[in-house]
Amino acid sequence: DAGVIQSPRHEVTEMGQEVTLRCKPISGHDYLFWYRQTMMRGLELLIYFNNNVPIDDSGMPEDRFSAKMPNASFSTLKIQPSEPRDSAVYFCASSPQGTDVYGYTFGSGTRLTVV
């Protein structure tokens, strides 16, 4: 299994531009999570999906952020327009239904820099 795959690994963009982050979860995992990590705030949950349906998006900072999961093998996190304070590492994670014994599997993350 290739694990959770995220792209791009690094993204540098100018303020005001649209940014799209992509994630392919592990096949068969029913849950998908988007996290953001910064030095100041640590690892924060933005949104999570169960069977492609958004369950809790209370962590999404504001309307500039949106996430979709059109099918079981793909999810996107979009920021439009981007701002310097959005600079962070964005992680996608997935887990199977009904068990916590193996935890979440995280992707390698996307390091976003907004200048």
Cβ closest to another protein, residue 70 vs residue 102: 102
Closest distance of CB 103 from another protein, Å: 3
Whether 67 and 11 have beta carbons less than 8 Å apart is answered as: no
Cβ closest to another protein, residue 57 vs residue 81: 57
Q: Does 25 bind another protein (CB under 8 A)?
A: no
Cβ closest to another protein, residue 19 vs residue 32: 32
Give the residue from 85, 76, 88, 81 showing the smallest Cα distance to 64: 81
Which three-class secondary structure string do you get for 22-38? EEECCCCCCEEEEEEEE
Q: Does 15 bind another protein (CB under 8 A)?
A: no
Q: Does 102 bind another protein (CB under 8 A)?
A: yes
Nearest-angstrom CA–CA distance, 10 and 87: 11
Closest distance of CB 32 from another protein, Å: 11
Give the residue from 9, 19, 20, 3 showing the smallest Cα distance to 89: 9
Contacts to another protein by CB under 8 A: 31, 33, 35, 42-45, 48, 50, 55-56, 91, 100-109
